[in-house]
Amino acid sequence: MKPRVQALILDRDGTLIAHVPYLADPAQVRILPGVREGLQVAIAAGVKLFLHSNQSGVGRGFFTMAEVEACNRRMVELLDLGAAPFARMCVAPERPDEPSLYRKPSPVFAREIAAEFGFPLDALCYIGDRGSDLATAARAGTRGAGMATGGDDLAAELAAAGLSRAYPIFDRFDAAISAVLS
């Protein structure tokens, strides 16, 4: 039997906030429906929250890490769940074609969380809108749930990666949280 979920590792764009290609302007940050409600449920259940976001726009020179952090601060402000709802926020700035440490599907961040907080890997759960989010879950040995809120065809991506059976896909974030925590 699996342990209960003790931490969520959350994607940002297309999962918590509306996907804007190469978002760099805090004024364009929009929280998706059900996200605040879902996170409140998770926090009330004692589940720790982590953010893991690929931001290749930094590596490509489109924008700076400071701009990413400004967007993250705006997201936290709009979520209105306290000053620091995330125990750790991991932004991977690498381009897809360069060696990466944290860029998803790297399992490094999940392993660090498991080691630092003493959680078994299968007590962690990735939630994201892309195949790379759930490929990370598969590589790290965590649980995972997909969001259909990012605009890409996640179902087709998961099918192509042979991951359809492993990870359910949800239309609203709070529905994903209910399923993951049940």
Contact residues toward Mg ion (CB under 5 A) are 11, 13-14, 129-130
Between 74 and 130, CB nearer to Mg ion: 130
For residue 130, the minimal CB distance to Mg ion (Å) is 5
For residue 3, the minimal CB distance to Mg ion (Å) is 26
What distance in Å separates the CA atoms of residue 5 and residue 171, rounded to the nearest whole number?
A: 20
For residue 47, the minimal CB distance to Mg ion (Å) is 20
Between 40 and 56, CB nearer to Mg ion: 56
Ranges of beta strands (E only) in 84-134 are 88-92, 124-128
Instruction: Please check whether residue 34 is in contact with residue 174, taking contact to mean a CB–CB distance below 8 angstroms.
Output: yes
What distance in Å separates the CA atoms of residue 153 and residue 146, rounded to the nearest whole number?
A: 11
For residue 152, the minimal CB distance to Mg ion (Å) is 8
Residue whose Cβ sits closest to Mg ion: 14
Between 33 and 117, CB nearer to Mg ion: 33
Between 6 and 15, CB nearer to Mg ion: 15
Q: How far is CA 154 from CA 32, 87, 128, 139, 171, in A?
A: 17, 27, 10, 18, 11
Question: And the tokens for 59?
Answer: 């590596």
